[in-house]
Amino acid sequence: MSYYHIWSIGCQMNKAYSEQLAIDLERLGYRSTGAIEEADIAVINSCVVRQSAENRVLSKLDSLIPLKRVNPDTVVALAGCMVDAGIAELRRRFSHVDLFLKPGESAELLDLARARAPEGMQDSTPLPLPPSAFVTIIEGCDNFCSYCIVPYRRGRERSRPLAEIRSQVEGLVERGVKQVTLLGQNVDSYGYDLPGMPDLADLLEELNSIEDLMRIRFLTSHPKDMNQKLIRAVASLDKVCESISLPVQTGDDEILQAMGRGYTAQDYRELVEQIRGNVPGVALSTDVIVGFPGETEVQFQRTLDLLSSIRFDTVHVAAYSPRSGTLASREFEDDVPPSEKKRRLQKVEELECQIASEINAQLLGQKVEVLVEGDKKGKWWGRTRTGKLVFFNDDSSRLGQLVAVEIEKTSPWSLQGVFEHKHSL
């Protein structure tokens, strides 16, 4: 038996890549191992969106040096956003790495894996899949927000043809998948580069007709590109979940402009009003950066005000981290001290903790519909249509089922409940 290990951090696009790579390696007869030192193929799927992520990748890469020394036949591959055009430089820095795979690329690794695949195991029947899968629908990003490295590493926007996505989702559903999450850095610009220019709403409608698929999610949306047609599609298509990820980044117009986001705080507020007016009960999540160059206390307060008035279900907050090669790192001084960035980050977290605990408390005593995605520490877990994480006990296997759960306990991050019955509410 030959084994693979994939170590992955970063965005959902990286998760999707790792999931697909695992499927492809399983098809070649490889099996997963939790111990990287036992692996015949070790993949580090990297993220460099912030310095903290990059540091974790570097330390993981360092930890593989002795492994490669002891077992030189292990194939070590570095994938994801750390791999840019300068592969010669990467090769020099990380001489123990055999393959450098740019974001989304896997052919070179799979060719090597095929050549070394265990005898007689190739194309063995793939294992059943978990109930939820990621499907990338658009690669790259054309937005060039001033702080962001992604367009430099993942290239320009490339949409996958609608028919190709449909056929992939049908294949996943045949193997047991019940929910797909459509992914892209900016899913709202899906299709503009395709013949006939289908858009995300068209794609959602197409996928909504797939029998046995229960739920469809998508992320991430860009506030400047989300339109009325997409909002109507979310409101009307029964499998599309009422959950939207809409990064705002800051509540201050001057900073929004310096970030190159293409909207004002007021535009954003109006968009949220439109979404909430059309999609009752919709859950909204957002991303925020604190400590952007030049951010004053007053400007930071505008972000807090926006978060307090919109009341998001989830907020992902990050301290600004200069990324070499971006406009912000060239033109703006990183002048908010680390201790101040940390304080602002904690302020946002405290505020959101309070808001999320109040939002979730409203679900106490209610019956919610949960798609069960797995078990952890003896409890089943799954999500509501709005993406709330729910835990419950039941002796029967509930994996992949839609169940009704009555909520007994809530926290800002998850809900606990009692299993009521299967499927119908």
The Cα 172–Cα 226 span in angstroms is 27
Minimum CB separation of residue 67 from ligand SAM in Å reads: 30
Element (H, E) at 60: helix 51-70
What is the nearest approach in angstroms of ligand SF4 to the Cβ of residue 421?
Answer: 41
215 near ligand SAM, judged by CB under 6 A: no
In whole angstroms, the minimum distance from the beta carbon of 399 to ligand SF4 comes to 33
- For the bound state, the minimum distance from the C-beta of residue 204 to ligand SAM, rounded and expressed in Å, comes to 19
Instruction: Give the per-residue contact string, 48-67, with ligand SAM (x = CB under 6 A; - = no).
Output: -xx-----------------
User: At its nearest, how many Å lie between ligand SF4 and the CB of residue 148?
Assistant: 3
Is beta strand 379-383 parallel, antiparallel or unpaired with respect to 367-376? Answer: antiparallel
Q: Which is nearer to ligand SAM, 50 or 215 (CB)?
A: 50
Provide the β-strand partners of residue 76: 42
DSSP letter string, 252-303: -HHHHHHHT-S--HHHHHHHHHHHHHHSTT-EEEEEEEES-TT--HHHHHHH
Taking CB under 6 A as the binding criterion, the range among 103-111, 318-326, 361-369, 376-384 that sits at the site for ligand SAM is 318-326
Residue 318 contacts which entry, ligand SF4, ligand SAM, none (Cβ below 5-8 A, type-dependent): ligand SAM
Binding of ligand SAM by 318 (CB under 6 A) = yes
Please give the full DSSP string across 162-219, using - where no structure is assigned.
HHHHHHHHHHHHHTT--EEEEE-TTGGGTTTTSTT---HHHHHHHHHT-TT--EEEEE
Classify residue 126 by its DSSP letter. P
151 vs 57, 186, 328, 360, 413, CA distance in Å? Answer: 20, 11, 14, 36, 31
Q: CA nearest 79: which of 21, 160, 26?
A: 21
Contact 376, 409 (CB under 8 A): no
- 45 versus 384: smaller Cβ distance to ligand SAM: 45
Nearer to ligand SAM, 178 or 323 (CB): 323
Q: Which residues bind ligand SF4 (CB under 6 A)?
A: 141, 143-145, 148, 150-151, 185-186, 222
Q: Site map for ligand SAM, 323-352, x if CB under 6 A?
A: x-----------------------------
Closest separation between CB of residue 86 and ligand SAM, Å?
A: 20
Question: Across 62-131, where does the E strand assignment appear?
Answer: 75-80, 99-101
Q: Which lies closer to ligand SF4 via its Cβ, residue 103 or residue 382? A: 103
* Token representation of residue 88: 């010669």
Give min distance, CB of 220 to ligand SF4, in A.
Answer: 7
| Contact set with ligand SAM (CB under 6 A) | 11, 49-50, 147-148, 150, 185-186, 220, 222, 247, 249, 287, 289, 318, 320-321, 323
